[in-house]
Amino acid sequence: MIYLDNSATTKPYNEVIQSFTKVATTYYGNPSSLHQFGVQAENLLSRSREQVAELLHVSSNEIIFTSGGTEGNNLAIKGVAMQYKSRGQHIITTNIEHDSVHEPFKQLESLGFNVTYVPVDSSGFVSPAAIESAITDETILVSVMHVNNEIGTIQPIEEIGQMLTNYSKVLFHVDHVQGIGKVPLSLADHKIDLCTLSGHKIHGLKGTGILYKRNGVQLHPLLSGGSQEMQHRSGTENVPGIVAFAKTLRLTLEHAAQNQQKMRKIKAELMDKLSAHERITINTPNEHSAPHIINFTAQGIKGEVFVHALEEKGVFVSTTSACSSKRKKPSKTLLAIGKNYEEADQSIRLSLSGLNDYNEVTPIVNAIFTVIEDLKKVMR
């Protein structure tokens, strides 16, 4: 079995599972309780926050633990919009964001906010100049993903962040879910106000993640209740998951350079071999793309059919993002970069992790080419 759907989710590290189990069975107290079990849980919570902050080179009071990327993105976007709506009600994003960014913007639009969806070029890049030209006196937020989850384009976050320093009332949110551990990103150097991470994309557990919130930024909470997480996210903290996330992040960043080198080598070989096939068009840009994502179109073969045919050969891939794949809609990212409906409907995403091996390249390519030949016979 060769697993190539790591942008959807990854296999958890054994050490992470062990940490979760240890905390869940031994330190199961509520961190808000005053007794010994509560204090132990609170200490683990505080230590994890400090560890995550140290790894990201930020302050511990800038880390908000969440249930993952979707909650982090919603809290950042809606939290800013509702907190600062008296300053203005114009918000900006791109037309290729993940649904957990795109849908909150749509919801805010229905509530009266003015939204600009900045287009991207044929490689999926957004221009900082295009974002700047969309800014008005009413603009309060710009949200741009670091790495596109479907074609792997790396956005010019540093340039966007630097440009936004000229607009003091505009906050900058980055969805870093696909970038963490694959493409380095300095929160301080890139002038980022809010940044979302998810545990299960980096060999952690589902239901874990963080939102980085720069000191001085205020958020309107999505959840009201016990005022946990510095009053930003009420609800009893998932201490086992939080401890597991801290370990996940440490292990990921410790092995990041080695894994990036390995994935780049595998990706380059796959793209070279796949692009030689007459029916395959590579949609991932050759330059400025993440080391773990390859998106291609197989002419004349629906993506869903291709996925199941490869599965029968022990190779697991995907079409669009996992959050959208069951809606049977073509990729909005591919449509945005100029592909037609049919091409978008025939796209396949391969996504690597550090657990993949170079020796898998040949069987992957052979399986893909065999499936194309088998399906060509059926289509005649």
Q: Estimate to the nearest angstrom the gap between the alpha carbon of 188 and the chain centroid.
A: 19
The long-range contacts involving 363-370, CB below 8 angstroms and separated by at least 24 positions, are 363/2, 363/315, 364/2, 364/4, 364/270, 364/315, 365/270, 365/273, 365/274, 367/2, 367/310, 367/313, 367/314, 367/315, 368/274, 368/277, 368/280, 368/298, 368/310, 368/315, 369/277, 370/313
Q: What are phi and psi of 9, to 5 degrees?
A: -170, 160
Nearest of 327, 276, 277, 329 to residue 300 by alpha carbon: 277
Instruction: Judge whether 323 counts as a catalytic residue.
Output: yes
Indicate the helix (H) or strand (E) that contains 205: none
Tell which residue, 88, 113, 117, has the closest CA to residue 101.
117
Q: Which of 304, 333, 308 is nearest to 319 (CA)?
A: 304
Q: Can you say whether the dihedral through the CA atoms of 116, 288, 340, 349 is positive or negative?
A: negative
| Nearest by Cα to 91 from 136, 148, 126, 129 | 136
Phi–psi pair at 356, nearest 5 degrees: -75, 160
**Residue 297 belongs to what H/E stretch?**
strand 293-298
User: Rounded to an integer, what distance in angstroms lies between the CA atom of residue 267 and that of residue 364?
Assistant: 12
Residue 275: partners with Cβ closer than 8 Å, 6 or more residues away: 282
Which of 323, 329, 365, 369 is flagged as catalytic?
323
Q: Are 317 and 303 in contact (CB under 8 A)?
A: no
User: At 187, is the secondary structure helix, strand, or coil?
Assistant: coil
**Distance, CA of 240 to CA of 232 (rounded, Å):** 20
As annotated, the active-site residues are: 323
